[in-house]
Amino acid sequence: MWSSAELKEKGKAAMKENYGMTIVVSLIMTFLAGAGGTYAGSNGARSFGGVLEKSGLATEQVMAIVAAILSVILIIIALGFVLKVFLFNPLNVGCYNFFIKNSDAPADFSELTRAFKPKWLNNVITMFLTDLFLGLWFCLFIIPGFVKMYSYRLVPYILAENPDMKPMEVITFSRQLMKGNKWKAFCFDLSFIGWNLLAVISCGIVGILYTAPYFNCSSAELYKTIRYGSGETEEVQP
Assess whether pLDDT exceeds 60 at residue 183.
Answer: yes
For the chain, the average pLDDT equals: 87
Residues 15-36 have a mean pLDDT of: 91
Assess whether pLDDT exceeds 90 at residue 233.
Answer: no
Residues 109-136 have a mean pLDDT of: 91
Assess whether pLDDT exceeds 90 at residue 225.
Answer: yes
Say what the pLDDT of residue 235 is. Answer: 62
Q: How confident is the model at residue 91 (pLDDT cuts 50, 70, 90)?
A: very high
Say what the pLDDT of residue 42 is. Answer: 42
Q: How confident is the model at residue 56 (pLDDT cuts 50, 70, 90)?
A: low
Listed by start position, the domains of the chain span 4-228
Residues 49-73 as b or e (16 or more Cβ within 10 Å = b): beebeeeeeeeeebeeebeebeeeb
Assess whether pLDDT exceeds 80 at residue 17.
Answer: yes
Say what the pLDDT of residue 58 is. Answer: 55
Q: CA–CA distance from 127 to each of 74, 104, 156, 166, 199 (Å)? A: 23, 25, 7, 11, 28
| Euclidean distance between CA atoms 27 and 29, whole angstroms | 5
Say what the pLDDT of residue 68 is. Answer: 84
Q: Are 159 and 123 in contact (CB under 8 A)?
A: yes
Q: What percent of the chain has pLDDT over 90?
A: 68
Q: Are 130 and 169 in contact (CB under 8 A)?
A: no
Q: Are 151 and 191 in contact (CB under 8 A)?
A: no
Assess whether pLDDT exceeds 70 at residue 133.
Answer: yes
Say what the pLDDT of residue 230 is. Answer: 58
